[in-house]
Structure 1
Amino acid sequence: MTLRFEDLDTAVAAMLARLPPALHIGAPLGLGKPHRLLNALYARVAADPARPMTLYTALSLDPPPAPPGLARRFMGPFAERQFGADFPRLAYVEALRRDALPAHVSVEEFYLQSGAMLGSAQAQRRYASLNYTHVARALADRGVNCIVQKVAANADATRLSLSSNTDLTFDAVDAIVAAGHPRPLLVAEIDPHLPWLDGTAVVDADWFDLVIAPPAPHPKLFALPRQPVGDAQHAIGLYASALVRDGGTLQIGIGALADALCHALALRHTDNAAYRRVLHALDPTLQAHPAVRASGGLEPFGQGLYGCSEMINEGFRRLVDAGVLRRKVVDKAPLMRRVNDGSASPLDLDLLDRDGQFLHGAFYLGSQDFYDWLHGLDDATRRGIGMKRVSEVNELYGLDEGLERLQRRDGRFFNTCMMATALGAAVSDGLEDGRVVSGVGGQYNFVAMAHALPGGRSALFLRATRESGGKAESNIRWNYGHTTIPRHLRDLYITEYGIADLRGQPDEDCVIAMAGITDARFAPALLDTARRERKLRGDFAMPAEWSAHTRERLAETLAPFRRDGTLPDYPLGSDFTEVEQRLVRALAWLQARTGSRRGKLATVAAALAHGGGPGDDEALARMDLAAPRGIGERIEARLLRLALARTQASG
Structure 2
Amino acid sequence: MLDSLDAAIDALLARIGGPLHVGAPLGLGKPHRLLNALYARVERDPSRRLHLYTALSLDPPGKGKGLEARFLGPFVQRHFGDDFPRLAYVQALKRNALPPHIEVEEFYMQSGAMLGSAQAQQHYASLNYTHVARALGDRGVNAIVQKVARSADGMRLSLSCNTDLTFDAIDAIVARGLPRPLLVAEVDPGLPWLGGSAAVDADFFDIVVSPPGPHPKLFGLPRQPVNDADYAIGFHASTLVLDGGTLQIGIGALADALCHALVLRHTDNAEYRRVLRALLNTGADDPALGPFAEGLYGCSEMINEGFRRLVEVGVIRRKVVDDVELMQRVDAGRASDDDLARLEREGEYLHGAFYLGSPDFYQWLRTLPEDVCRGIGMKRVSAVNELYGGNEALERLQRRRARFFNSCMIATVLGAAISDGLEDGRVVSGVGGQYNFVAMAHALPDARSALMLRATREAGGRLTSNIVWNYGHTTIPRHLRDFYITEYGIADVRGLSDGDCIAAMAAVADARFQSGLLDTARRHGKLRDGVAVPEEAAGNTPEHLRTALAPFRTAGSLPDYPLGSDFTTVEQRLVKALGWLKTGTATRSGKVRAVLAALTAGRCDDAEALGRMQLAEPRGLGERIEARLVGLALKRTA
TM normalised by structure 1 equals: 0.97
Residue 563 of structure 1: how far off its partner (Å) = 0.6
Partner of 1:193: 190
| 8 A contact 1:6–1:212 mirrored in 2 | yes
What SS does structure 2 have at the residue aligned with 1:455?
coil
1: distance between equivalents of 2:131 and 2:494? 26
Aligned partner of 1:391 among 382, 397, 407: 382
2: distance between equivalents of 1:258 and 1:10? 43
Residue type of the alignment partner of 1:629: R
Matches of residues 473-488 of structure 1 in structure 2 within 5 Å? 473-488=464-479
Partner of 1:265: 262
Residue type of the alignment partner of 2:632: L
Answer yes or no: is 1:166 the counterpart of 2:163: yes
Residue type of the alignment partner of 1:634: R
Q: How many corresponding residue pairs?
A: 638
What SS does structure 2 have at the residue aligned with 1:521?
helix
2: distance between equivalents of 1:379 and 1:590? 47
Partner of 1:562: 553
Residue 190 of structure 1: how far off its partner (Å) = 0.3
Partner of 2:634: 644
| 8 A contact 1:357–1:386 mirrored in 2 | yes
What SS does structure 1 have at the residue aligned with 2:200?
strand
Aligned partner of 2:214 among 211, 214, 217: 217
Answer yes or no: is 1:535 the counterpart of 2:535: no
1: distance between equivalents of 2:177 and 2:420? 33
Moved over 2 A (4+): 284-288, 541-544
Aligned partner of 2:99 among 102, 105, 110: 102
Residue 452 of structure 1: how far off its partner (Å) = 0.2
Over residues 325-379 of structure 1, what are the superposed CA-to-partner deviations in whole Å (9 max), with x where a residue is unaligned? 0000000001001101101111111111111000000000000000000000001
Residue 634 of structure 1: how far off its partner (Å) = 1.3
Partner of 2:331: 340
Is the deviation greater in 602-611 or in 191-200? 602-611
1: distance between equivalents of 2:621 and 2:16? 59
2: distance between equivalents of 1:362 and 1:502? 30
Residue 284 of structure 1: how far off its partner (Å) = 5.1
Over residues 186-225 of structure 1, what are the superposed CA-to-partner deviations in whole Å (9 max), with x where a residue is unaligned? 0000000000001000000001000000011000000000
2: distance between equivalents of 1:601 and 1:588? 17
Residue type of the alignment partner of 2:216: P
Partner of 1:248: 245
Residue 619 of structure 1: how far off its partner (Å) = 0.4
Aligned partner of 2:40 among 31, 43, 53: 43
Residue type of the alignment partner of 2:575: V
Residue type of the alignment partner of 1:46: E
| 8 A contact 1:21–1:50 mirrored in 2 | no
Over residues 81-119 of structure 1, what are the superposed CA-to-partner deviations in whole Å (9 max), with x where a residue is unaligned? 110110000000000000000000000000000000000
What SS does structure 2 have at the residue aligned with 1:357?
coil
Answer yes or no: is 1:319 the counterpart of 2:316: no
Partner of 1:612: 603
Over residues 490-517 of structure 1, what are the superposed CA-to-partner deviations in whole Å (9 max), with x where a residue is unaligned? 0000000000000000011111110010
Residue type of the alignment partner of 2:610: L
Partner of 1:404: 395
2: distance between equivalents of 1:608 and 1:286? 48
1: distance between equivalents of 2:247 and 2:532? 37
Answer yes or no: is 1:114 the counterpart of 2:111: yes
Over residues 531-556 of structure 1, what are the superposed CA-to-partner deviations in whole Å (9 max), with x where a residue is unaligned? 11111111123333222110011001
Is the deviation greater in 338-347 or in 278-287? 278-287
Partner of 1:603: 594
Partner of 1:491: 482
Answer yes or no: is 1:450 the counterpart of 2:447: no
1: distance between equivalents of 2:532 and 2:331? 46
Over residues 214-261 of structure 1, what are the superposed CA-to-partner deviations in whole Å (9 max), with x where a residue is unaligned? 011000000000000000000000000000000000000000100000
Aligned partner of 1:277 among 270, 274, 277: 274
1: distance between equivalents of 2:281 and 2:70? 44
Partner of 2:542: 551
| 8 A contact 1:612–1:645 mirrored in 2 | no
| 8 A contact 1:413–1:446 mirrored in 2 | yes
| 8 A contact 1:224–1:367 mirrored in 2 | yes
Answer yes or no: is 1:415 the counterpart of 2:402: no
| 8 A contact 1:38–1:90 mirrored in 2 | yes
Partner of 1:521: 512
2: distance between equivalents of 1:333 and 1:628? 69
| 8 A contact 2:84–2:216 mirrored in 1 | yes
Residue 21 of structure 1: how far off its partner (Å) = 2.1
2: distance between equivalents of 1:101 and 1:492? 42
Aligned partner of 2:143 among 132, 141, 146: 146
| 8 A contact 2:503–2:531 mirrored in 1 | no
Partner of 1:232: 229
What SS does structure 2 have at the residue aligned with 1:286?
coil
Over residues 451-487 of structure 1, what are the superposed CA-to-partner deviations in whole Å (9 max), with x where a residue is unaligned? 0001100000000000011111100000000000000
What SS does structure 1 have at the residue aligned with 2:411?
strand
- Which sections of structure 1, spanning at least 5 residues, go unmatched? none
| 8 A contact 1:243–1:297 mirrored in 2 | no
Partner of 1:34: 31
Residue 398 of structure 1: how far off its partner (Å) = 3.2
2: distance between equivalents of 1:66 and 1:246? 45
CA RMSD, 1 decimal: 1.0
Partner of 2:9: 12
What SS does structure 2 have at the residue aligned with 1:173?
helix
Residue 631 of structure 1: how far off its partner (Å) = 1.6
Residue 418 of structure 1: how far off its partner (Å) = 0.2
Over residues 8-28 of structure 1, what are the superposed CA-to-partner deviations in whole Å (9 max), with x where a residue is unaligned? 111111110111220000000
What SS does structure 2 have at the residue aligned with 1:149?
strand
Answer yes or no: is 1:632 the counterpart of 2:622: yes
Residue type of the alignment partner of 1:635: I
Over residues 235-291 of structure 1, what are the superposed CA-to-partner deviations in whole Å (9 max), with x where a residue is unaligned? 000000000000000000000100000000011001101101111111153358xxx
What SS does structure 1 have at the residue aligned with 2:189?
coil
| 8 A contact 1:244–1:297 mirrored in 2 | no
| 8 A contact 2:352–2:379 mirrored in 1 | yes
Residue type of the alignment partner of 1:199: G
Over residues 28-61 of structure 1, what are the superposed CA-to-partner deviations in whole Å (9 max), with x where a residue is unaligned? 0000000000000000001100001010000000
Answer yes or no: is 1:363 the counterpart of 2:354: yes
What SS does structure 2 have at the residue aligned with 1:459?
strand
Residue type of the alignment partner of 1:114: S
Partner of 2:121: 124
Residue 606 of structure 1: how far off its partner (Å) = 1.1
| 8 A contact 2:413–2:468 mirrored in 1 | yes
- Which sections of structure 2, spanning at least 5 residues, go unmatched? none
Answer yes or no: is 1:381 the counterpart of 2:378: no
TM normalised by structure 2 equals: 0.99
| 8 A contact 2:4–2:211 mirrored in 1 | yes
What SS does structure 1 have at the residue aligned with 2:637?
helix
Residue type of the alignment partner of 2:361: F
Is the deviation greater in 565-574 or in 150-159? 150-159
| 8 A contact 2:274–2:284 mirrored in 1 | no
| 8 A contact 1:117–1:124 mirrored in 2 | yes
| 8 A contact 2:352–2:384 mirrored in 1 | yes
| 8 A contact 2:115–2:427 mirrored in 1 | yes
Residue type of the alignment partner of 1:562: R
